[in-house]
Amino acid sequence: MAKILSPEEINEIVERAMHKSNGAENNAEKETASPLPTINELEAAAGNLINCRDILARFGAEVENAGLVGETNNAKILYLALTSRLFERPVSIAIKGVSSVGKSFTVEQVLKFFPPAAYFVRTGMSERAIIYSDEDYRHRFLIIFEAAGMNSEMQSYLIRTLLSEGRIVYEVVEKTKAGLRPRRIEKEGPTGLITTTTAPRLHPENETRLLSLGVIDTPDQTRAVMQALAADAASANIVSFARWHALQSWLTEGQHEVMVPFAATLADLIPPVAVRLRRDFKLLLTLIQAHALLHRGTRAHDDQGRIIATVAGYEAVRELVAKLFAEGIEVTVSKTIRETVAAVESCVGGGVGEVSLTALAKKMRLDKNSVHHRVRKAIDRGYLVNREEKRGMPAKIATADPLPDEIEILPPPDALDDCWSVGASTQGIKKEGGDEEPLLPPNQ
């Protein structure tokens, strides 16, 4: 039976792992540093998280205990995305919503579950700072609180290149004692990005590289947040972040490669209704792989040592992102846009009339900022239009294109039950640290 470590022992192991990730400042520090933790020590420090059958559900409960209210699904997606830093193409995220709705707070709460070496935070950067920064970008996330911090075309281009190509190669001419000389700067990834924004849509080239998440802006959510804040001082819930840090450090040290045996069949079942799916399908597979990697301690491995993703893992990911995928390729719309369009139709009596933003906010029983954000999204998608052409004048909101029918993009999990072995090895599977055993369906 594995030894149960004390909180002090867990913290000591995590601190040693952090020292490795941060790097020693000089040779003297390296000589005096404590020995780096072994993968077995990290496993012991992570405790029962290693063998948890549903780590994502466990995380959801823990992040709620840490103070997050109503945004658990977004937090789970962020957790999977940050875990994907260990792959060659991490999943990048944009969280959208009005000011003060809690976008940054959601990100901050999730980051507490990761060791500092997994990410670095900036509120803004100069145009070429990403080139000259001393940060190590390899298998890390760049967190920018507010996309306005990416304040130039050049900076946006550099970040986009880092995300897509996994590296930046930049040549600059510098003045030296020998005259002007070129210097080649290389920044290696892979690197992921998490940013927040009040804009309904980012730069088109950035938009297609990010999975967009919306934040709940309803009165019920506001009431729940205020109640949570009121109860915060009396809260006795304590989350052991050190165990979660140890889990991520353990994942860093072990096998990262994941095979998805049902990938080909999944590709056949998803309707090819938009070119963007070429990129989004890879994002979907990466989230499935991140879920499998997260459960490495309970997943089977093939004869090449790769972790085998399960249909159950796909089901967990699909539950989180199915609607986001459909909205991203614009074959369906979110619940908030449908509600907003319906409210406009109700105000104008289903005809061709117009409604002011103030009247619409009253109708929807939301604050004006929230309604404005929703209307901007609906106008951007072509479902509403502002007929007021003069700048500075009150908006005249009217309906435009009809809303599309709901279309299912991601197939239900049971559609994959009979094809789980596609691409899987027929030589059997190996469990981590164990012997080969008969091949079983991956959701068992």
pLDDT of residue 209: 82
Same domain, 377 and 278: no
Examine residue 165 and state whether it is found in any structural domain, yes or no: yes
pLDDT band (50, 70, 90) for residue 53: very high
* Res. 7 pLDDT band, cuts 50 70 90: confident
Is 243 a member of any domain?
A: no
pLDDT attached to residue 3: 64
- Specify the higher pLDDT residue, 116 or 28: 116
Query: In the prediction, which pLDDT does 143 show?
Result: 93
Query: What pLDDT does residue 20 have?
Result: 56
CA distance 392 to 61: 46
Strand ordering across the sheet containing 211-214: 119-122, 140-144, 191-197, 93-96, 211-214
Query: Above 70 in pLDDT, residue 437?
Result: no
Secondary structure (3-state) at 258: strand
**Last-in-domain residue among 199, 215, 231:** 215
pLDDT digits (tens, 9 = 90+) for 317-362: 999 998 888 777 666 677 888 888 888 888 887 667 888 888 888 8
Please report, as a single letter, which amino acid is at residue 377. Answer: K
Residues 307 and 350 in one domain: no
**266 and 117 in one domain?**
no
Domain boundary among 165, 195, 215: 215
Query: What phi and psi values does residue 26 have, to the nearest 5 degrees?
Result: -155, 175
Output the DSSP codes for 133-146: -----TTEEEEESS
Q: Does residue 206 share a domain with residue 267?
A: no
Under a CB-based contact definition with an 8 Å cutoff, are residues 299 and 311 in contact? no
Asked if residue 170 and residue 111 are part of one domain, the reply reads yes
Q: How many domains does the chain have?
A: 3
Residue at 42 is within a domain: no
Residue 260 confidence (pLDDT) above 50:
yes
Task: Tell whether 301 and 162 lie within a shared domain.
Answer: no
Condensed to tens digits (0 to 9), the pLDDT of residues 273-293 reads 778 888 889 999 999 999 999
pLDDT digits (tens, 9 = 90+) for 140-166: 999 998 766 566 788 888 888 998 899
Looking at the structure, do residues 427 and 315 belong to the same domain, yes or no?
yes
Q: Is the pLDDT of residue 220 over 80?
A: no
Q: Give the domain range for residue 122.
A: 87-215
Residue 226 is classified by DSSP as H
- Stretch 14-24: mean pLDDT: 64
Q: What are phi and psi of 38, to 5 degrees?
A: -80, 165
Q: Is the pLDDT of residue 262 over 70?
A: yes
Lowest-pLDDT range, 2-11, 59-68, 272-281, 376-385? 2-11
**pLDDT number for residue 373:** 84
Average confidence (pLDDT) over 247-263? 93
Answer yes or no: is 31 within a domain: no
What per-residue confidence (pLDDT) applies to 268?
A: 92
For residue 71, being part of any structural domain is answered with: no
Going by C-alpha positions, the residue among 136, 149, 189 that lies closest to residue 167 is: 189
Nearest Cα neighbor of 273 from 201, 317, 328 is 328
Do 170 and 100 belong to one domain?
Answer: yes
Residue pLDDT, tens place only, 175-203: 888 888 888 999 999 999 999 887 767 77
Evaluate if residue 111 carries a pLDDT over 90: yes
Q: Which of 90-99, 349-358, 374-383, 417-426 has the lowest mean pLDDT?
A: 417-426
Q: Which residue has the higher pLDDT, 418 or 173?
A: 173
Evaluate whether residue 260 is within a structural domain: yes
Range of lowest pLDDT (64-68, 145-149, 196-200, 412-416):
145-149
In a domain, 239, yes or no: no
Query: CATH code at 124?
Result: 3.40.50.300
Nearest Cα residue to 440 out of 335, 298, 249: 298
- Whether residues 263 and 381 fall in one domain: no
Cα-flanking dihedrals φ and ψ of residue 109, to 5°?
A: -65, -40
Mean pLDDT of 122-132: 85
Do 274 and 321 lie in one domain? The reply is: yes
Whether the pLDDT of residue 54 is over 70: the answer is yes
pLDDT at site 1: 41
